[in-house]
């Protein structure tokens, strides 16, 4: 250290493991802090490892020195071999002591000796690392969902633009055909008048000509357009009459606009579809899946078979996406959580997240490691489990595998 203090400069790189050890910890920590301050003043670079809390505080409050920590999996009590810059690390001494089998009363005595303030500081460090990992995962999931949402939105915008162009084309063509039909009708009327004049008021001839005109008028009578937009007319004009090229198309349009028993319908402004099974005056009995409900006819609108297929396909796609996400969670889900050493509210929050994931992936049972201690944490967790829908039973683990220190949860 003496050589480093004398010779360090902005081109120096220092690598020091367990800075300040080898003497009484409080004095050693103070000497290490003073030495680190001198290195910082000399603008030297370095990587220094330590367990001293005073050095962590010094790095947090001093420009030129930054904390770092190697991440640790609290649930499985094993290192992750990942470096996190910006926050100090925890030694996880209490957790590791429990894992190697030290008696719980011995650990409690040690905690009393070191003081609640020091333990709370260590727990806060662990909570920061845990929460950071949790929110990083959440942020990544949100980014992925936003990307899928943007892709879906772009797809629907393109489809809407194509539909708008097609509607304009159909409207223009319908106007042209209507204009031709009107011209043909006028010509037919003029021709009828001329034939009546030429027949010189001959009753039979006049009657036949008028009947021909009435037939013509009946054939060109256009029904009201169906709700939901324009229907492309499909007409073929001749000099003697006007014929429908595709009568079945009008029949299908009439079926879409008609509310009758057996028709597919949905409530206006809603997405759920159903089938009319009975009609009375201004009301109808509609089956929405296994649910039957009486609805006013004014609140219903018919849907075609094509629309029904599109709705089913859309919900099937959403269901497949959700199934893929659940399948991925199921592959990475661990059926055990360790909340020993956490405060009550922290442990309860971790258990809530854990149980939610367990219900989502559909596991049969999980284990919650909470330790024995005073029993308060165990009681708090079990009170929460009693309120969760889907939890069948919860009980102590077998005495050979942890006994009252572990709760086994079984799901329905």
Whether the pLDDT of residue 32 is over 60: the answer is yes
| Residues 182-191: contacts with CB under 8 Å, at least 24 apart | 184/237, 184/239, 184/242, 185/216, 185/220, 187/239, 188/213, 188/216, 188/239, 189/213
Query: Pick the residue with more confidence: 410 or 128?
Result: 410
Residue 240 pLDDT greater than 50, yes or no: no
Residue-by-residue DSSP string for 289-341: TTEEEEEEGGGEEE--HHHHHHHHHHHHHHHHHHHHHHHHHHHH--SEEE-TT
Q: Inform me whether the pLDDT recorded for 243 exceeds 50.
A: no
The mean per-residue pLDDT over the stretch 30-42 comes to 94
Pairwise pLDDT comparison (256 vs 156), residue with the higher score: 156
What pLDDT shows up at residue 12? 95
204, pLDDT greater than 90 = no
Confidence of residue 252 (pLDDT cuts 50, 70, 90): very low
Residue 234 scores a pLDDT above 60: no
* Identity of the highest mean pLDDT range in 88-97, 239-248, 336-345: 336-345
| SS percent in the chain: helix, strand, coil, step 5 | 55, 20, 25
Terminus-to-terminus CA distance in the chain, angstroms?
64
Task: Read off the pLDDT band of 283 (50, 70, 90).
Answer: confident
* pLDDT number for residue 282: 83
pLDDT per residue over 135-183, tens digit each?
A: 888 888 898 888 889 888 888 988 998 898 898 989 888 888 888 888 7
pLDDT score of 200 more than 60? no
Fold type of domain 333-411: Ribosomal Protein S8; Chain: A, domain 1 (3.30.1370)
What pTM, to 2 d.p., does this model score? 0.32
SS (H, E, C) 222-265: CCCCCCCCCCCCCEEECCCCEEECCHHHHHHHHHHCCCCCCCEE
Domain extents in the chain: 2-142, 333-411
User: CA–CA separation, 179 vs 176, rounded Å?
Assistant: 5
Q: What pLDDT was estimated at residue 217?
A: 65
Q: Taking a C-beta distance cutoff of 8 angstroms, is the pair 356, 390 a contact?
A: no
pLDDT (tens digit per residue) in 320-339: 555 666 667 777 788 899 99
The pLDDT of residue 365: 92
Q: What is the mean pLDDT of the chain?
A: 78
Mean pLDDT computed over 337-351: 88
What is the rounded average pLDDT of the residues 191-211?
Answer: 65
How much of the chain exceeds pLDDT 90, in percent?
Answer: 16
CATH number of 2-142: 3.40.50.300
pLDDT at 45: 96
């Amino acid at each position: 250290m003496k050589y480093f203090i004398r010779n360090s400069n902005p081109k120096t790189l220092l690598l020091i493991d367990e800075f300040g050890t080898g003497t009484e910890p409080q004095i050693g920590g103070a000497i290490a802090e003073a030495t680190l301050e001198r290195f910082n003043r000399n603008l030297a670079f370095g990587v220094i490892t330590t367990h001293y809390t005073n050095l962590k505080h010094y790095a947090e409050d001093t420009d030129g020195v930054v904390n770092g920590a190697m991440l640790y999996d609290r649930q499985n009590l094993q290192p992750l071999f990942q470096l996190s810059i910006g926050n100090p690390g925890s030694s996880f001494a209490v957790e590791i002591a429990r894992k190697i089998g030290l008696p719980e009363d011995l650990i409690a005595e040690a905690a009393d000796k070191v003081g609640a303030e020091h333990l709370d500081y260590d727990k806060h460090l662990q909570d920061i690392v845990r929460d950071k990992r949790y929110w990083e995962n959440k942020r990544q999931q949100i980014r992925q969902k936003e990307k899928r949402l943007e892709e879906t939105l772009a797809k629907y915008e393109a489809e809407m633009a194509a539909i708008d162009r097609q509607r304009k084309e159909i409207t223009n063509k319908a106007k042209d055909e209507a204009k031709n039909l009107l011209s043909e009708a006028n010509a037919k009327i003029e021709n009828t008048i001329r034939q009546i004049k030429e027949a010189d008021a001959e009753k039979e001839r006049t009657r036949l000509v008028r009947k021909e005109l009435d037939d013509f008028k009946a054939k060109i009578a256009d029904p009201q357009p169906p709700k939901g937009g324009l229907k492309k007319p499909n007409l073929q004009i001749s000099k003697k009459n006007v014929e429908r090229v595709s009568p079945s198309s009008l029949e299908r349009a009439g079926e879409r606009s008609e509310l009758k028993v057996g028709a597919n319908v949905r409530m206006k402004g809603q997405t759920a579809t159903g089938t009319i099974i009975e009609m009375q005056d201004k009301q109808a009995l509609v089956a929405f899946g296994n649910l039957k409900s009486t609805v006013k006819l004014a609140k219903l609108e018919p849907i075609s078979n094509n629309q029904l297929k599109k709705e089913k396909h859309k919900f099937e796609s959403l269901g497949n996406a959700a199934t893929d996400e659940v399948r991925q969670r199921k592959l990475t889900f661990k059926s055990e959580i360790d909340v020993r050493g956490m405060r009550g509210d922290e442990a309860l929050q971790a258990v809530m997240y854990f149980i939610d994931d367990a219900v989502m992936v559909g596991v049969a049972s999980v284990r919650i490691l909470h330790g024995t201690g005073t029993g308060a944490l165990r009681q708090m967790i079990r009170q929460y489990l009693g309120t969760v829908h889907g939890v069948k039973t919860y009980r102590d683990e077998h005495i050979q595998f942890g006994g009252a220190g572990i709760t086994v949860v079984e799901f329905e």
